[in-house]
DNA sequence: CTGTTAGCGCTTTCAG
DNA sequence: CTGAAAGCGCTAACAG
């Protein structure tokens, strides 16, 4: 059979690796079959496949990523962005691009697509990609999570794997989701705000819209911690990420609660709100805790208008989603439909520079990777 | 010459990669020579080497890590730990082990050594390893940075690359160093403490010993920010990481400054200090900001004895050092003798669970890598 | 459904 | 100092 194999002869390579040759030998079959079985290809009898899988597990076989990516066909996936690219999404994109660059070494190619923000169009694009033989897709849909889930469920994308970042779909139509740990972020904001205003003070929550799952858990975390800290919640305001609404919202909030001590701005798009608040002369008076770090926010913190912001790590979200989808596609890594939550971080003036640096392309390489 | 090469024929592999074949062809030499030159092997004439390097650069050649690690001899390096393994070093070790496991795929093998903490012994061990053909070493020496630097400079470890974590050596005797951004950590502590105590309050700094470079920059950062925030610095206390000294130190501090409002505990080994302070009845009275997260510290924060702690990410320090040393060894990545500084993070009660989880082996996979 | 075989891109003997 | 050739471990045609 595989007689050509004469181990322990050449190269300085140490000879201890367990390969498909070993398991083929053990089972008296060819390496090709082993390879096929291990990669879940169709053309293997159930019987044989079972024996192979079992042997592999028992012998503790672990495929060599190097060898496989050297011979494998290129894996392809697409990234679907909604049309509206704001700072946050842009950071996610940068994270994806960064990781893609590293994974090119392993024979991955990725196409970035911008899609008009309507669940129907997203769905049909996905179906098209699937038909075109794409192996996977990362979806960043801004709206219509429920509707899109429904559509995807109906069409059953043959073999294409879908992952989501920040915005999520139903568990059964995607492999995994990566987002920030909203619950903890909300609680951190609550704790900081209470520290800033003192106990028993009056605080408000300003957010995008609560129908979004991420925003909802952030809000819940905040309210929970606020309660714990004895903050009085004056109200919850949604501005639907529309500047006009946010502008108006700022006025409404202070009109309704002239004695307000603090506000948690739970979404990244609160610039207008902040600016308006400052215009109205509330700069130092109301303590602000915000979300994320983007150029405008850096100014706000530096000037003291905003005391702290909770960084949600969009860059790493993109990066991780890319890597995980790759591992799923190539190595069959499973995620059980789980959400992968990244740690939010507190940014105040003294560590602001670290996050400012991340925004530039400097990136200084660190962590992680 | 390399006639066996017939590109664009087989496999589904896309055909666009620039390989050593291309550059060999271009220069009318063999791929073996190209490979040798690119890897800095001895046996290549200066003339040829120069031509090859230049061609490679011009053509934008980038070696395939997969292909190389598939054929390469195993790279070996050693990790030298000081005898005293406390929580912090242990986390570094875990980080190293984690990364080593991932890099085994790329033919890396690592030995962990525990060394008696004396510069002379460290040096002679390093010289021995170098003679044994080790390609690199990561050093975590606890004391005698200056002396060890001197010894290493004298002996000139043939070709072995040395990297350091946390504790550093002189730039010319190691390739790079990884540590936490002490300066920023100190400033963060300063800002938080000032927020907790209010402006103009009296605060003290308690640290291990200031001869260590990391601790020194942390202290400087703290003092700078304290000044900025208008904190009055009552004093700087060193306890040399000795429990007995720390115990005593707690008493000294409150005796000398009964009106103290806050303390920054700048090193990880301040448990005794904290406990003693609590015993003396100063639990709620003096605001504490500490360093790092380890089991005992988690309790302190949960109970409110310590308000915040600055996490210095030892796990990632170990991990990154390992990866970078690997990249240096295998891909010739250069660091210009630089320090690689990781971002310190603020831990308060509401995000404590995230860091607690990191300590368990759960690690939940996230980031980074 | 299974086996044979030709590489992926690179490094390392082994001969000159 | 340089070249030829044999693999590293795996996958993808291509035959059966």
Per the CB < 8 A criterion, the answer to whether B139 and B126 are in contact is yes
CB B212 within 8 A of CB B198: no
- pLDDT category at B8 given cuts 50, 70, 90 is very low
Which residues neighbour B125 within 8 Å (Cβ) at sequence distance 6 or greater?
Answer: B80, B113, B115
- Give me the pLDDT at residue A87, please: 83
* Chain D positions with a protein C-beta closer than 7 Å: 1-13
Q: Using CA atoms, how far apart are residues A126 and A137, in angstroms rounded to an integer?
A: 8
Residue B362 has pLDDT above 50, yes or no: no
Q: Distance from residue B58 (CA) to nucleotide C6 (C1'), in Å?
A: 31
- Sorted by sequence, the CB contacts under 8 Å of residue B255 that are 6+ apart come out as none
> What is each CA distance from B142 to A36, B237, B272, in whole angstroms?
52, 20, 20
The contacts of residue A173 (CB under 8 Å, 6+ apart) are A149, A152, A153, A162
Please determine, for residue B366, whether its predicted confidence score (pLDDT) is greater than 70: no
Long-range contacts of B88-93 (CB under 8 A, 24+ apart): B88/B166, B88/B268, B88/B292, B88/B294, B88/B312, B88/B314, B89/B140, B89/B314, B91/B294, B91/B314, B91/B315, B91/B318, B91/B359, B92/B140, B92/B165, B92/B166, B92/B314, B92/B315, B92/B317, B92/B318, B93/B318
Taking the CB of residue A275, how many other CB atoms lie within 10 A of it?
17
Please report residues of B whose CB lies closer than 8 A to that of A184. Answer: 350-351, 353-354
Cβ B354 to strand C below 7 Å:
no
Answer yes or no: is pLDDT of B9 > 80.
Answer: no
Whether A195 sits inside 8 A of B190 (CB atoms) is no
Interacting residues of B102 by C-beta distance below 8 A, sequence separation 6+ = none
A59 Cβ within 7 A of any nucleic strand C atom: no
**Whole-number distance in Å between A240 CA and C10 C1':** 55
Q: Which residues of A188-207 are buried (b: 16+ CB within 10 A; e: fewer)?
A: bbbbbbbbbbeeebbbbbbb
Per-residue 3-state assignment (H helix, E strand, C coil) for A109-142: EEEEEEECCCHHHHHHHHHHHHHCCCCEEEECCC
Q: Could you tell me which residues come within 8 angstroms of residue A248 by beta carbon, excluding any fewer than 6 positions away?
A: A239
DSSP secondary structure letters along B255-299: HH-TT--EEEE-SS--HHHHHHHHHTT-TTTSEEEEE---HHHHH
Indicate whether B14 pLDDT > 50: no
Say if strands B262-265 and B202-207 run parallel, antiparallel, or are unpaired. Answer: parallel
Secondary element (H or E) of residue B165:
strand B161-165
Q: Which one, of A302, A281, A292, A296, lies nearest residue A345 by Cα?
A: A292
Largest CA distance in chain A: 85
Give the nearest chain B residue to A353 (CA atoms): B184
Q: Note whether B328 and B335 are within 8 A (CB).
A: yes
The pLDDT value given to residue B361: 60
Subunit contact A368:B105, Cβ cutoff 8 A: no
**CA-CA distance, B278 to B267, in Å (whole number)?**
18
Residue-wise pLDDT tens digits, B129-153: 998 889 999 999 877 788 889 898 8
Q: What is the mean pLDDT of residues B94-122?
A: 91
CB contact under 8 A, A342 and B366: yes
Cβ pair A191, B348 in contact under 8 A:
yes
pLDDT tens series, chain A, 369 aa: 444 444 433 333 345 789 999 999 889 999 999 999 999 888 888 889 999 999 999 999 999 999 999 999 999 999 999 887 778 888 999 999 999 999 998 999 999 999 987 889 999 999 999 988 899 999 998 778 888 999 988 887 667 999 999 999 999 999 999 999 999 999 999 999 999 998 889 999 999 888 888 899 999 999 999 999 999 999 999 988 788 888 889 999 999 999 999 999 998 778 888 889 888 888 888 999 999 998 889 999 999 999 999 999 999 999 999 999 999 999 989 998 889 999 999 999 999 999 999 887 644 444 443
* Helix residue ranges per DSSP H, B304-364: 314-331, 352-359
**What pLDDT does residue A40 have?**
87
Q: What is the mean pLDDT of residues B82-109?
A: 89
User: What is the C-alpha separation between B141 and B163, in angstroms, rounded?
Assistant: 11
**Which residue from B169, B170, B206, B166 is spatially nearest to B186, judged by alpha carbons?**
B206
Strand partners, B111: B78
What's residue A142's pLDDT?
Answer: 74
Higher pLDDT, B243 or B258: B258
Q: Is the CB of A59 under 7 A from strand D?
A: no
Cβ atoms of A247 and A272 closer than 8 Å: yes
**Strand (E) or helix (H) holding A163:** strand A161-165
Per-residue model confidence (pLDDT) at position B359: 84
Instruction: Measure the CA–CA gap between A255 and A237, rounded to whole angstroms.
Output: 13
The predicted pLDDT at position B4 comes to 42
DSSP letters, B38-92, are: HTT-SSS-HHHHHHHHHHHHHHT----HHHHHHHSPPEEEEEEEES---HHHHHH
B255 touches strand C (CB under 7 A): no
pLDDT score at B211:
84
Q: Does any strand C atom come closer than 7 Å to the Cβ of A184?
A: no
Is residue B222 within 8 Å of residue B204, measured between CB atoms?
no
**Contact criterion met (CB < 8 Å) for A348 and B192:** yes
Q: Is B208 exposed, middle or buried (0-12, 13-18, 19+ CB in 10 A)?
A: buried
Residue A151 CA to residue A125 CA, distance in Å, equals 12
């Amino acid at each position: 059979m595989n007689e050509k194999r004469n181990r322990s002869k050449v190269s300085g390579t140490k000879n201890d690796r367990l390969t498909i040759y070993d398991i083929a030998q053990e089972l008296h079959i060819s390496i090709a079959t082993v390879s096929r079985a291990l990669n879940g290809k169709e053309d293997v009898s159930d019987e044989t496949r079972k024996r192979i899988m079992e042997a592999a597990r028992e012998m503790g076989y672990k495929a060599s990523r190097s060898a496989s990516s050297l011979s494998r066909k290129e894996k392809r996936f697409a990234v679907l962005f909604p049309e509206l690219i704001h700072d946050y999404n842009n950071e996610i994109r940068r994270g994806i691009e960064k990781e893609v660059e590293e994974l090119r070494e392993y024979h991955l190619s990725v196409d970035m697509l911008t899609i008009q923000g309507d669940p129907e169009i997203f769905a049909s694009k996905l179906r098209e990609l699937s038909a075109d033989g794409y192996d996977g897709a990362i979806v960043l849909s801004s709206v219509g999570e429920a509707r899109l889930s429904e559509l995807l469920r109906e069409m059953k994308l043959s073999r294409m794997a879908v992952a989501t970042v920040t915005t999520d779909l139903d568990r059964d139509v995607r492999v995994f989701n990566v987002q920030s740990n909203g619950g903890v972020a909300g609680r951190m904001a609550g704790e900081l705000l209470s520290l800033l205003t003192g106990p028993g003070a009056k605080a408000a929550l300003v957010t995008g819209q609560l129908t979004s799952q991420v925003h909802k858990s952030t809000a819940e975390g905040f309210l929970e911690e606020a309660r714990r800290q004895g903050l009085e919640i004056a109200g919850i305001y949604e501005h639907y990420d529309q500047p006009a609404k946010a502008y108006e919202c700022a006025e409404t909030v202070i009109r309704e609660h002239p004695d307000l001590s603090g506000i948690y701005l739970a979404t990244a798009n609160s610039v207008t709100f902040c600016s308006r608040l400052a215009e109205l002369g509330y700069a130092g008076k109301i303590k602000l805790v915000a979300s994320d770090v983007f150029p405008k926010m850096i100014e706000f913190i530096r000037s003291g208008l905003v005391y702290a912001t909770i960084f949600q790590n969009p860059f790493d979200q993109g990066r991780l989603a890319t890597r995980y989808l790759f591992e799923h596609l190539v190595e069959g890594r499973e995620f059980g439909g789980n959400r992968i939550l990244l740690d939010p971080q507190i940014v105040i003036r003294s560590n602001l520079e670290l996050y400012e640096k991340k925004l530039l392309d400097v990136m200084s390489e660190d962590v992680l990777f």
